[in-house]
Amino acid sequence: MNKIENKYTYYTFENIKHIDEYGNEYWFARELQKVLQYKEWRNFKKVIDKAILSANNSTSSEKDWVVEVNKPIKTGKGKEEIIIDYKLSRYICYLIVQNADPSKEVVALGQTYFAIQTRKQEITEKEYDSLTDDEKRFYQRHLTKRGNYSLNIAAKNAGVKNMAEFHNAGYKGLYNGETANDIAKYREDILDNMNEDELIANLFRINQTKQKLIKDNIQGEKEAKSVHFEVGKKVRKAIADIGGMMPEEMPTPQKSLKELEKEKKTFEIKNI
């Protein structure tokens, strides 16, 4: 167990996680293949097939366990080829690691990671619609914290040293030129004072930036800041195109999440 904890961590799988525009988590099969140390795609494909069979046998509900996608890659001769990849749901990843080679140390960690994450998310998805507005804010804020952690790793790998300026670039793109300080003029601690929809918009910006930094192998602080700005700008345009409310126009909740947390703890202490 000590050897597993030293070599692999929670973020071994967290760092290859993606989140779509609806807040759904997914993993690419080719990235999971590398993490699980399968050299041959054909061998890993057999594991995926077993997992799909297990999923279909375990439930009668129809789910998109696996979504096929085509990806362009550069060959050694500089030519572009299209390869098949899959977007995998959290549950199918859980079944994949259950069917993977148990002799691999990383598989043992994966089994624990996806078991815990699947259970957590099953509860969240089932209860989400019945949550209060503030409870939904807490949930989305938790996702943005995790997203920013992964984004910071990707930015650091790209050569970013001034994280404040890097994050400001993203805010400028999404908020029509406003920096974190500009936004803070009318509310302290930006993310803790956002409503559910504004947090979701920022989560999309965060995850799309992370994916682009990694996918395009962006190098250099200037280039990384430019990517963050452009992604923020495109997210803003997407909101405008569908007639949505701009993030800076969204209503600010009366209380920050930190205030709500403090009130909750005070209430619990009094009851004890």
**Distance, CA of 254 to chain centre:** 28
Among 39-53, 137-151, 177-191, 247-261, name the most confident range: 39-53
Do 147 and 235 have their domain in common? yes
User: What band does 142 get if pLDDT is binned at 50, 70 and 90?
Assistant: confident
* 142 and 104 within one domain: no
- Examine the domain organization and report whether 176 and 265 are in the same domain: yes
Of 96 and 181, the one with more pLDDT: 96
Give the model confidence (pLDDT) of 31-59 as tens digits.
999 999 999 999 999 999 998 888 777 65
CA 41 → CA 1, 36, 81, 158, distances in Å?
28, 11, 16, 28
Q: Cα 250 vs. chain centroid, distance in angstroms?
A: 23
- Residue 205 near residue 198, CB atoms below 8 Å: no
Tokens for 3, please give them. 């050897």
Confidence of residue 165 (pLDDT cuts 50, 70, 90): very high
Mark which of 93, 109, 125 sits at the end of a domain. 109
Same structural domain for residues 143 and 228? Answer: yes
> Does residue 16 form part of some domain?
yes
* Sign (positive or negative) of CA dihedral 213, 219, 225, 226: negative
Element containing residue 121 per DSSP (H, E): helix 105-127
Mean pLDDT estimate for the chain: 83
Co-location of 95 and 140 in the same domain: no
- Same domain for 184 and 219, yes or no, is yes
CB neighbours of residue 221 within 10 Å: 16
Kindly report, residue by residue over 89-129, the tens digit of the pLDDT: 888 998 999 888 888 888 888 887 887 776 666 656 667 77
Strand partners, 74: 80
Which residue in this structure is represented by tokens 């998109």?
A: 64
28 and 97 both lie in a single domain: yes
Among 109, 143, 168, identify where a domain stops: 109
Structure tokens at 25: 């988590």
Q: Looking at the whole model, is its pTM more than 0.85? A: no
Domain span at residue 12?
2-109
Cα distance between residue 83 and residue 70, in whole Å: 6
Domain match, 49 and 167 both: no
State whether 98 and 144 are in the same domain: no
Q: Single out the residue of 25, 55, 29 nearest to residue 44, CA to CA.
A: 29
Among 109, 141, 165, which residue terminates a domain? Answer: 109
Mean pLDDT of the region 165-193: 81
3-state SS class at 49: helix
pLDDT of residue 272: 46
Cα-based torsion angle of the residue sequence 115, 143, 89, 235 in order, rounded to the nearest 10 degrees: -170
CA angle 177–237–143, rounded 5-degree value: 80
**Total number of domains in the chain:** 2
DSSP state of 90: H
Q: Has residue 23 been placed in a domain?
A: yes
